[in-house]
Amino acid sequence: MSLDELLPREVLDWFTPDQLMRIGTVAAIIIGGFILLRVVVFFLTRTMQRNFTDQSMMLIRKIIMYIGSIIILMSVLAQLGLQLGTILGAAGIAGIAFGFAAQTSVSNIISGMFLISEKSFELGNVITIGDTTGVVLSIDLLSIKIRTFDNRYVRIPNEHLIKTEFTNITRFPIRRMDFNLTVARNTDLVRLEDMLLGIARSEPLCLDEPEPLFLLQDFSERGIKVLFGIWFTRTSLIATKNAMMRALQAGFAEAGISPVVDWTVDTLPLQLPKETSTGGG
């Protein structure tokens, strides 16, 4: 049985020399186009990376990939004999209806441009948005992606960021860790200050500049409120907190000072108040 008898005529027509040449050309356009696109993105990245931030380079790469992909698609359609004028005309009609449905996306893109130009945060920064805190993984045209410290992947639309106050926790290289203590009213405050400042001076992870902070804040029903703050590099948060908690516990026991009624621990950036951003400012 011959091939003509096994396959329909419509299928055999695709295997003519002209059709095979066209298929080969389309494959060459697709493969060669994306290889060329990758090469262009690579050399542009190498050339421009010194003058642009990581998130700007990410956005530039994506824009180049989007534009290049559209050009490749148009070239493939033209090679297949489709009339681009007819396609663009139909796209224009459909675009009117699509535009109304895409208002949110357009708003997110514009908001993304503002966020990138404002440079409120960069890739790798730790930010807090509402009840969500995590590391910035990517800054895209429509949204940013962050990874929380319990390893959750969170997508936040750019429009929401522009309208919402957020905090960049790691913008500055050093931070202050505050210990809000409440001690008994009969505590020797001079001895307490000497003990706390001595712990700060002896702990290697605590910075000498800026100097540690000791502040008598107020009297309360439970005792005397004391603020003790030390400075540390942002990369040593966990190690510093653990070391200070152990040192404070041992220090109170060794000094024989009246036991602490209550304490809390906060971490602050170098400049106060904390850097926040509200939409469009």
Instruction: With beta carbons less than 8 A apart as the criterion, state whether 238 and 150 touch.
Output: no
Residue 182 lies inside a defined structural domain of this protein: yes
Q: Which of 57, 74, 101 is the last residue of a domain?
A: 101
**What CA–CA distance (Å, rounded) separates 50 from 119?**
16
Domain of 82, CATH number, reads 1.10.287
> Domain range holding 211?
174-269
- Indicate whether this model's pTM tops 0.85: no
List the one residue out of 265, 244, 261 whose CA is nearest residue 187.
261
pLDDT single digits (tens) 20-43: 777 788 888 888 888 888 888 788
- If asked whether residues 159 and 195 sit together in one domain, one would say no
pLDDT single digits (tens) 107-163: 767 777 777 667 778 888 888 888 888 888 888 778 889 999 888 999 988 888 888
Question: Is residue 96 predicted with pLDDT exceeding 60?
Answer: no
Residue 143's region, left for phi above 0, alpha for psi from -120 to 50, else beta, is beta
Domain of 126, CATH number, reads 2.30.30.60
Q: Which of 46, 69, 101 is the last residue of a domain?
A: 101
Q: How many domains does the chain have?
A: 3
List the one residue out of 144, 133, 138 whose CA is nearest residue 168.
133
